[in-house]
């Protein structure tokens, strides 16, 4: 007979479910400008608190304040705003195209535009991102063609990936954007391997890994952190914590660790949390981490605290698992509006110019979409050939595939 009572299993639950009143009071938001900016060569043990705070630059008044401010010029900020607005407009058009049956699937970025768009500005030509499916901002901010993006989504005759990949699983080596895998987290350790290769070859290029809050639970994440730590790989490892892994709230993957950034501490990797809806803060932190990698100081782990305003994908309806108005209650606001307000506050932008820019950007996006549709949409006649299905499995087609292609009659 045990003198203890029966054991019970603990299952974490989000603060609120559908029908409840959204509540983010459990998220402590530090004042903008209140978190120190340490030198990049600091001993990681001295900045453990950065894994539990949130680095923020833009305050409620739209001013950029504190030690992390000032990493971008006004012209760069205006361009950054344009990138985020382009991504948002593109999302709207592609989401609609999916509803119209022009493609099978789409994933939008609503509310998370700042993360990839701002991060991209800290990178140089030749650096390599290993993205997940919600970092198209890297492509847009990196100057990739909207037409090629739409062609990939439509799996049409002009699709650079020849109809082989699910929509939004882009790849562009030239733009430092590694091929996306639908098996989550696999690319995280690959980013570390790519960075190790760069170091082995005494190159100057760095790698960047991307992962969502939910996928940090995969073994690949832990392997990546071990390898990055052991070999001091020139890599920046990003966690985009948008609070929801499809229907599963972040507490299920996070467990008792307090924050996702804190996972880095056990590996001796400097770990920072940043306001993912603050374009200036994301850029400043990205620049700090990239500088560490370039100076051969090793990896950095960054948790971008943000919120997935839209559904996980076109196959998902968040009404089934979270309150409808939850995104309105999100305490870090909207990244586009915050940067817009900052630029207005600086006298570099106005509501009128913003409206005008919105219209111009929408025109550009629609023009790109129409251009792409000239090459077909998913169910139109113009699609990559069945014959091409057999190409590219290997560099040289082995006999058994030649026989199968013949059998298929293509």
Which CB atom, from 172 or from 259, has the smaller least distance to other proteins?
A: 172
Give CA separation, 280 vs 63, 155, 303, 339, in Å. 11, 35, 15, 8
Q: Smallest gap, in angstroms, from Cβ of residue 25 to other proteins?
A: 39
209 three-state secondary structure: strand
345 contacts other proteins (rule: CB under 8 A): no
Binding mask 226-265 for other proteins (x = CB under 8 A): xx--x-----------------------------------
| CA–CA dist 293, 232 (Å, integer) | 9
Q: Smallest gap, in angstroms, from Cβ of residue 179 to other proteins?
A: 4
DSSP string, 251-312: HHHHGGGSSSGGGGGGGT--EEEEETT-HHHHHHHHHHHHHHHHTT---EEEEEE----S-S
145 contacts other proteins (rule: CB under 8 A): no
* Bridge partners for 207 per DSSP: 128, 235
Which CB atom, from 30 or from 160, has the smaller least distance to other proteins?
A: 160
Binding piece for other proteins, criterion CB under 8 A, among 29-37, 95-103, 117-125, 186-194: 186-194
Binding piece for other proteins, criterion CB under 8 A, among 221-229, 270-278, 331-339, 361-369: 221-229
Which CB atom, from 308 or from 383, has the smaller least distance to other proteins?
A: 383
Please give the helix or strand (H or E) that residue 403 lies within, else none. Answer: helix 399-408
| CA–CA dist 268, 248 (Å, integer) | 29
Residues 6+ apart with CB under 8 A from 114: 84, 137, 276, 277, 278, 279, 282, 306, 335, 339
The binder of other proteins chosen from 55, 189, 206, 271 (CB under 8 A): 189
194 contacts other proteins (rule: CB under 8 A): yes
Q: Smallest gap, in angstroms, from Cβ of residue 218 to other proteins?
A: 9
Which CB atom, from 264 or from 323, has the smaller least distance to other proteins?
A: 264
Segment 196 to 215, residues that bind other proteins, using CB under 8 A: 196-201, 207
> 292: burial class by Cβ within 10 Å (0-12, 13-18, 19+)?
buried
Q: Smallest gap, in angstroms, from Cβ of residue 277 to other proteins?
A: 30
> 28: burial class by Cβ within 10 Å (0-12, 13-18, 19+)?
exposed
The binder of other proteins chosen from 91, 112, 220, 278 (CB under 8 A): 220
Number of residues in the chain: 410
Q: Smallest gap, in angstroms, from Cβ of residue 163 to other proteins?
A: 10
| CA–CA dist 132, 304 (Å, integer) | 14
| CB-CB neighbours of 1 under 10 Å | 3
Segment 99 to 138, residues that bind other proteins, using CB under 8 A: 128, 130
The binder of other proteins chosen from 68, 119, 133, 169 (CB under 8 A): 169
- CB-side exposure of 274: number of CA atoms within 13 Å? 36
Binding positions for other proteins, rule: CB under 8 A = 128, 130, 160-162, 164-165, 169, 171-173, 178-179, 181, 183, 186, 188-201, 207, 219-220, 223-224, 226-227, 230, 392-396, 398-400
């Amino acid at each position: 007979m045990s003198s203890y009572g029966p054991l019970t299993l603990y299952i974490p639950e989000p603060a609120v479910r559908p029908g409840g009143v959204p509540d983010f009071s459990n998220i402590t938001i530090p004042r903008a400008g209140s978190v120190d900016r340490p030198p990049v060569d600091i001993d990681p043990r001295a900045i453990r608190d950065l894994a539990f705070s949130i680095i923020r630059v833009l305050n409620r008044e739209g001013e950029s304040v504190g030690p992390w401010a000032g990493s971008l010029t006004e012209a760069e900020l205006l361009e950054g705003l344009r990138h985020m607005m382009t991504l948002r407009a593109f999302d709207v058009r592609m989401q609609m195209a999916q509803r119209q049956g022009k493609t099978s699937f789409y994933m939008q970025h609503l509310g998370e535009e700042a993360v990839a768009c701002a991060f991209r500005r800290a990178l140089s030509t030749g650096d390599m991102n290993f993205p997940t499916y919600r970092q198209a901002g890297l492509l847009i901010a990196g100057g990739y063609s909207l037409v090629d993006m739409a062609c990939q989504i439509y799996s049409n005759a002009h699709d650079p990936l020849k109809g082989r990949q699910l929509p939004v699983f882009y790849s562009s080596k030239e733009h430092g954007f590694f091929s996306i895998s639908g098996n989550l987290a696999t690319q995280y350790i690959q980013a570390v391997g790519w960075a190790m290769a760069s170091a082995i070859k005494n190159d100057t290029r760095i790698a960047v890994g991307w992962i969502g809050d939910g996928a940090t639970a995969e073994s690949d994440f832990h392997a990546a952190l071990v390898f990055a730590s052991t070999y001091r790989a020139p890599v920046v490892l990003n966690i985009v914590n948008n609070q929801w892994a499809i229907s599963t709230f972040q507490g299920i993957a996070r467990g008792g660790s307090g924050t996702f950034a804190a996972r880095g501490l056990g590996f001796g990797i400097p770990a920072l949390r940043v306001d993912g809806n603050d374009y200036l803060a994301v850029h400043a932190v990205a620049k700090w981490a990239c500088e560490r990698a370039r100076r051969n100081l090793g990896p950095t782990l960054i948790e971008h605290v943000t919120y997935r305003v839209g559904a996980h994908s076109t196959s998902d309806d968040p009404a089934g698992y979270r309150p409808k108005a939850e995104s309105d209650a999100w305490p870090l606001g909207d990244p586009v509006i915050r940067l817009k307000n900052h630029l207005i506050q600086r006298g570099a932008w106005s509501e009128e110019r913003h409206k005008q820019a919105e219209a111009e950007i929408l025109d550009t996006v629609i023009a790109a979409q129409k251009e792409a549709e000239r090459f077909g949409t998913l169910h139109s006649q113009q699609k990559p050939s069945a014959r091409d299905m057999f190409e590219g499995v290997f560099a040289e087609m082995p006999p058994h595939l030649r026989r199968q292609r013949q059998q298929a009659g293509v």
